[in-house]
């Protein structure tokens, strides 16, 4: 309730400021007043999925645009959709020069589900499925948005053209910044692996795509740029500390390249708990307070707030490249992510994002060797006119085999046996989108993405592929 009251107060303040901005600014149509700008996005559409799950009122993308384990081969979805091309939001950003060459800067951004009016809350969408078999689950997925009033961003700092920008608060990771620069589809949920899945921007786990309690530095020095980021996560709902660094350049007109490194301790990713896990821990189901609770729920933890977490120490390196030539823009990105067992295990009862609680924790998912995910993205945008862009992209995920032993069949396929989830696997995807911009405020789009799971990544799935033709409109202010 406190979160919703805080958000309501903030939105009321934004509305008041917007009215003042309209009265104060007659030279352009931006809602800016004394250096403070009110901005937002509203994105809705229509989607058909021959293999889909029902819309979720809290999950940021609304629908499972990439194939997921609970998507059902005999169930389709045809109906309204949200946030397909970009996240709906409302926010404030501002800058004010307080000394020659030095300005104060800030941003506050709320992410919303336009079809329900709810705050975006991926963690809740997962917890709603606890104890429900996959075949009966709704759309769900972990996220760095967990119902926070300012789930998109809340940060402030100082900026200088010479010395760079230093900011403090809840901020996008440097890896996520590179998605904005180099994803061919611009981070779209419905048409991009990199946009739909926060794995690429979150050092392997989407909860770290935005970092609470973080310090971020960026400086553009001629054609080059550097950036550093540190998160103090100890004792918070953010797991543990994180560090990131990026170096990039624009060596010739139209060309851009960046390379980044990130390391996150006690990264958390959650999935729905099984019906067996929902069983309360008892004296006959020991221990009452285990270091790793995967088979029962401690009595002091509220089941409606309990998340089922896999914990790991992750590191990754990433490169991105783009080149604009006349009407064409080529983009490519690659990331190598490593998952290892955590040096500092997290116990049940530890807070998760948004006020939720870790009800079950698996600190031993990678006992033999690191799990490695390799992400690839290549795409081409063609500006057919000043109003129309057509973009095509190819995405590919590869997973190594990170476990061996009895019961782990790699490869499967013999006698109908599927590969184990620890086996090597792959997921290719293809997307195509046409986006027509009437002006800077309103555009309409139509597109489709196909994704396919194979080998280890297909383990436990009800279907191995999905396709999501989508049309929609987006209003920006």
Domains of the chain: 2-476 (2.40.160.10)
pLDDT digits (tens, 9 = 90+) for 370-385: 999 999 999 999 999 9
47 or 28, which is more confident: 47
3-state secondary structure of 136: helix
71 or 358, which is more confident: 358
Residue 412 has what pLDDT?
54
Residue 184 reports pLDDT greater than 80:
yes
pLDDT digits (tens, 9 = 90+) for 190-216: 999 999 999 999 999 999 999 999 999
Residue 26 has what pLDDT?
42
State how far the alpha carbon of 374 is from the alpha carbons of 143, 237, 254, in Å.
20, 28, 27
Instruction: Find the length of the chain.
Output: 477
Say if residue 327 is exposed, middle or buried (CB neighbours under 10 Å; 0-12, 13-18, 19+): exposed
Residue 16 has what pLDDT?
43
Distance, in Å, from the CA atom of 421 to the CA atom of 400, rounded to the nearest integer, reads 10
Positive or negative torsion for Cα 146, 152, 154, 156: positive
Residue 72 has what pLDDT?
79
What average pLDDT does range 142-159 have in this prediction? Answer: 97
Confidence band for 147, pLDDT divided at 50, 70 and 90 = very high
3-state helix, strand, coil in the chain (%, to 5): 15, 45, 45
Six-digit token string for 216: 């971020």
3-state secondary structure of 291: coil
Among the residue ranges 16-30, 74-88, 269-283, 303-317, the one predicted with the least confidence is: 16-30
Six-digit token string for 158: 């100082």
Residue 417 has what pLDDT?
56
**Do the strands 371-383 and 357-362 form a parallel or antiparallel pair, or are they unpaired?**
unpaired
pLDDT digits (tens, 9 = 90+) for 326-345: 999 999 999 999 999 999 99
Residue 460 near residue 39 (C-beta atoms within 8 A): no
3-state secondary structure of 225: strand
Residue 31 has what pLDDT?
92
| Residue the block writes with tokens 């600190």 | 363
Distance, in Å, from the CA atom of 123 to the CA atom of 174, rounded to the nearest integer, reads 22
Distance, in Å, from the CA atom of 456 to the CA atom of 409, rounded to the nearest integer, reads 10
462 or 156, which is more confident: 156
Say if residue 267 is exposed, middle or buried (CB neighbours under 10 Å; 0-12, 13-18, 19+): buried
Host H or E run for residue 355: none
* In the chain, % of residues over pLDDT 90: 81
Residue 21 has what pLDDT?
37
Q: Which pTM value belongs to this model?
A: 0.89
Among the residue ranges 88-97, 103-112, 173-182, 411-420, the one predicted with the least confidence is: 411-420
Residue 83 near residue 139 (C-beta atoms within 8 A): no
Computed over every residue of the chain, the mean pLDDT equals 90
pLDDT digits (tens, 9 = 90+) for 296-310: 999 899 999 999 999
């Amino acid at each position: 309730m406190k979160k919703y009251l805080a958000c309501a107060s903030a939105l009321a303040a934004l509305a008041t400021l917007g009215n003042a901005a309209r009265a104060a600014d007659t030279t352009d149509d931006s809602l800016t007043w004394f250096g403070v700008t009110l901005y937002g996005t509203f994105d809705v559409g229509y989607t058909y999925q021959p293999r889909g799950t029902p819309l979720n009122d809290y999950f940021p993308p609304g629908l499972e645009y990439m194939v997921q384990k609970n998507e059902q081969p005999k169930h389709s979805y045809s109906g309204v959709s949200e946030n397909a091309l970009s996240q709906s939001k409302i926010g404030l950003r501002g800058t004010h020069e307080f000394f020659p060459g030095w300005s104060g800067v800030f941003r506050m951004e709320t992410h919303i589900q336009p079809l329900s009016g709810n705050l975006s809350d991926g963690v809740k969408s997962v917890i709603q499925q606890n104890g429900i078999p996959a075949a009966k689950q709704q759309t769900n997925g972990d996220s760095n948005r967990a119902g926070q009033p300012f789930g998109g961003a809340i940060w402030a700092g100082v900026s200088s053209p010479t010395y760079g920008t230093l900011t403090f608060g809840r901020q996008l990771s440097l890896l996520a910044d590179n998605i904005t620069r180099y994803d061919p589809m611009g981070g779209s949920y419905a048409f991009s692996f990199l946009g739909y899945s926060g794995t690429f921007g979150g050092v392997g786990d989407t909860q770290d795509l935005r970092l609470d309690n973080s310090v971020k530095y960026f400086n553009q020095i001629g054609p080059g740029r550097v950036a550093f980021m540190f998160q103090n996560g100890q004792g918070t709902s953010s797991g543990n500390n994180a560090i990131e660094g990026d170096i990039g350049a624009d060596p010739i007109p139209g060309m851009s390249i960046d390379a980044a490194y990130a390391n996150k301790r006690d990264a958390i990713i959650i999935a729905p708990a099984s019906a067996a896990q929902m069983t309360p821990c008892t004296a006959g189901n020991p221990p009452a307070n285990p270091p790793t609770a995967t088979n029962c729920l401690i009595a002091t933890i509220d089941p409606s707030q309990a998340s089922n977490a896999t914990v790991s120490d992750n590191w990754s390196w990433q490169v991105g490249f783009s080149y604009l030539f006349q009407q064409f823009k080529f983009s490519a990105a690659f990331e190598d992510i490593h998952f290892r067992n955590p040096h500092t295990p997290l116990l049940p009862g530890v807070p998760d994002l948004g006020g939720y609680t870790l009800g079950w924790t698996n600190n031993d998912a990678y006992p033999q060797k690191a799990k490695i995910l390799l992400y690839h993205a290549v795409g081409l945008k063609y500006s057919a006119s000043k109003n129309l862009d057509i973009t095509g992209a190819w995405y590919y995920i590869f997973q190594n085999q990170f476990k061996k032993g009895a019961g782990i069949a790699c490869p499967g396929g013999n006698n109908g046996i599927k590969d184990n989830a620890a086996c090597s696997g792959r997921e290719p995807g293809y997307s195509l989108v046409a986006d027509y911009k009437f002006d800077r405020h309103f555009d309409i789009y139509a597109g489709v993405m196909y994704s396919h799971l194979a080998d280890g990544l297909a383990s436990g799935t009800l279907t191995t592929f999905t396709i999501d033709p989508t049309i929609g409109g987006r209003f920006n202010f």
